Structure 1
């Protein structure tokens, strides 16, 4: 599942939206919660053919200078990482990158004017950042953060934390319905500082999880 983005409308409604995969289909899901009322939930099918994708992640950057980009990344079982650019109400192909056969899951950790950065794990438990410039022909820069310790997580959730490019990361183990919380310094390869806060005392049931954010991710 992708990151979900939150905002407040002029009428005071809480609005959140994001993408999810279900049954091989890609959906845009949105929730609007008016003050003092129940949430209104909608799901719009964007297309099929996503059965072979293990994970998705999104970037949604915009700033006052007019710089913006919106990408969808899909990790495929064939070993490719696909990128799609927002186009109207859907997405169009925007290149792919090979060499990701051993990777398991991912989440967006940074979105900047000229690049996105994914936080990714491998089936063997290694943790990496994948720095991807926004230009169509650019190649990703892969950096190892930790060699092991992350194999049990099927989902990663990331949220901005503090004013020094830090992040809060939650790894979710679907086999035990457990979530484990970590604080990351700004991602700098193996020099990244990681503090473990242990297991979160709630059950993470279900197979689909997403982080909800109203701040731009800047963890790398």
Structure 2
């Protein structure tokens, strides 16, 4: 099973939140791990806590990539091996190709550091992500947003693909829901609007709802984590100023969605790539 709970991730979801207004106002216990790939090709990590004001613990980890090569990344997932060992893995776009990247320590104590090419043709993509839902059934999907506004979804690995046009205004997006029947992204536009994009599992087209009409255009990256049972802790990054801001987002429902700004996150945020760090076994996202 994908996503086993690690000690480092066990404290991520400490809130027990129920209604949208309460969720957006009561996130002091929630934490999220904002991962990145820095200009040197190293994995970096920022553990952000929704205290008042927000706090952060930053560190630089494994060197993985040629400096400057990484452009995009899916969520990185921490997996515990039996009886000992672990690995972190994600899909990463390096230049024009997609790779599966993995690092950690194998059960024999030997280091893992592998970057395996999946395929080319990714030079025009501006976002990638992988969703995972478990319960009565297990479901995986991979997504890529191309710069002409076409959103792709792959299932059964990369063997089945669906595509949806109409997203050319999207600047950045983050996964906030992964359920048995749909995935949802929270997306900003270049004009400053904030939307949810729900992608049903079947053949139906995505459902788009406006959440806010303006003020979100300054963010180049969104990173989202579950907070409580149905809310989202959101880190929004403005690379032009090197700033990150933390938001508590209630269960998304169009323009009635409750969003509370929790303040500026300490530190400087100018890395080329940002992503969520999570752990195998963590409950699927359910922000919409």
Match of 1:159 in 2: 225
Measured on the aligned residues, the alpha-carbon RMSD in Å equals 1.9
Q: TM-score scaled to structure 1, two decimals?
A: 0.89
Ranked by relative contact order (alpha carbons within 8 Å, sequence separation 6 or more), the top structure is: 2
Greater Cα shift, 75-84 or 4-13: 4-13
Q: Look up the match of 1:23.
A: 95
Match of 1:11 in 2: 83
Which of 129, 138, 141 matches 1:68?
138
Instruction: Please report the TM-score for the alignment, with normalisation by the length of structure 2.
Output: 0.69
User: 2: distance between equivalents of 1:73 and 1:179?
Assistant: 25
Partners of 1:198 and 1:158 in 2: CA distance? 16
- In structure 2, the gaps of 5 or more residues are 1-72
CA distance in 1 between counterparts of 2:128 and 2:269 reads: 19
In structure 2, what is the Cα distance between the partners aligned to 1:17 and 1:83? 20
Q: Residue by residue, what CA displacement relative to the aligned partner does 1:184-209 show, whole Å, maximum 9, x if unpaired?
A: 11111111111112221112232111
Q: How does 1:51-200 map to 2 (within 5 A)?
A: 51-63=123-135, 65=136, 67-87=137-157, 91-135=158-202, 137-163=203-229, 165-200=230-265
Structure 1 stretches lacking a partner, 5+ long: none
Rg larger in 1 or in 2?
2
* CA distance, structure 1, for counterparts of residue 113 and residue 239 of structure 2: 25
Separation in 2, partners of 1:177, 1:41? 29
Relative distance call for 1:14 and 1:160 in structure 2 (3 A) is farther
- Contact 1:56 1:106 (8 Å CA) reproduced: no
Aligned residues between the structures: 212
Contact 2:81 2:106 (8 Å CA) reproduced:
no
